[in-house]
Amino acid sequence: MLLKRYTGNLLLVILLFLMLAFFFLGDVFIPKAVDFSGYPMLHSVFVVFLGLFLESIPFLFLGAIASSFIQLFISEEIIQRMIPKRPLTAIFAAIGAALVIPVCECAIIPVVRKLIQKGVPVHAGVVLLVTAPILNVIVFGSTYYAFQNNPAILYGRIILCVLTAIIAGLFIHIFSTKDVVKEDKMELVHGHEHDIQSSKWTSFIEHTSQEFFMVGKYFIIGALFASVFQVFMDRTVMADIGQAPIKGTALMMGIAFVLSLCSSADAFVAASFSHSFLPGSLLGFLVFGPMLDLKNVLIMMSCFKRSFVVTYVLLVFAVVFSLCLIAGGLISKGGF
C-alpha cells in the first residue's frame, strides 16, 4: 500500500513538472514540434484551448488548495458556528463570504463541495456557487473597464447576481434535500490512511493533488469543446437575432455556456457584442456564464449528485433568463 501511494505521488510530481514546463515553454517548443500550417482551423482550436487552459489552471489549483485546507484544518464545529441558523440570514452571510473568496467559477465548486460536507447548508453553498465568480474586485474592475461608457451593465451584473443568489438559495432551501454531495470512496480510503500514517501537511499535499487532478480532467474536456465551438461559431447568424430580446438573451446565455470563459475576462468578450445585442442579452452573457458553463457543469457532475446538478442548471437558467428580460426592459426605458 505504501509503495503504491508513493509511486502515485511521484507520478503526480512528474506531471506537475511537465505542466509547469508546458506553461512557461509551450509557446516556444510546441509550434516547432507540431506543424499546423496546413490546418489553420485546427491551429485556432489549439490556440483557444491553450488560452483557456493557461487562464484557468492557476484558479483550479487555488480551489484545490482551499478545498484541502477546509478538509484538514477546519472542523465541522467551527463552520457550523459561522453559519447563521435562519435560512435568509445564512443566504446573506454566504453572499458576504463570496466577496472575500478569491476563486473563479471552476475553483469554487470543490470548495463548496467540501463546505457542504463540513456542515454548511446546501442553500448557502448554492449561493456561493452563484455569487463567488462575480462578486469580487477583479471581476468588478474588468467589467467597469469594458463597459465604462455603459454603467448600467456593470451595476446590472451585480444586482442580478445577488437577486439570482437569493431566489436560488430560497428555492433550494424549500425543495432540495441535504444529501447532494457525490460520495468519493477513494477520499474515504485515503482519509483513513492519512490519519494513521501521515502528518497533516503531508495529507494536505496529497489531498490537494488528488482534488486538482479529479477536477482538472473534467475541465480539460469542457475546455476542448468550448474551443471547437468558439472557432467554428458563425457570428453573422447571431447578428440577425441580436435585436430580439427573448431570442438574443437565450442565444447569449447559450454562447456563454459553451465558450466557458473565465469571469475575470468575459466582460471584454461581451463588449465585443455590444453593437449587435441589447443590454438584457449582454447581461445574460455576463451573469449566466460565470454561474454555469460547459466545463463547470462537468466539474459539478464529478462533485455532486446528478439530480442536484440538473435542478441547479434548470433553476439558474430560469431565474437568470427572467431577470435579464426584466432588466433589459428597464434599461431600455432608462430606469435601471
Residues linked to residue 181 through DSSP beta bridges, in sequence order: 304
Cα separations in angstroms, 53 against 68, 228, 268, 313: 22, 14, 18, 24
DSSP 15-50: HHHHHHHHHHHHHHHHHHHS--TT-HHHHHHHHHHH
For 114, list phi and psi in degrees, rounded to 5.
Answer: -70, -35
Per-residue pLDDT of the chain (336 residues; tens, 9 = 90+): 445 555 555 655 665 566 556 555 555 555 555 555 566 777 777 777 777 677 667 766 776 777 677 667 766 566 667 778 788 898 999 898 888 765 666 678 888 888 888 888 999 999 999 998 898 777 888 888 889 888 999 999 999 999 999 999 999 999 877 788 877 644 444 444 444 445 777 777 777 777 677 666 666 766 677 677 667 766 676 667 777 899 999 999 998 898 777 777 788 778 877 877 899 999 999 999 999 988 888 889 888 999 999 999 999 999 999 999 999 999 888 766
Contact 56/220 with Cβ under 8 angstroms?
A: no
Residue 67 grid coordinates: 478545498
Instruction: Please give the DSSP secondary-structure letter assigned to residue 121.
Output: -
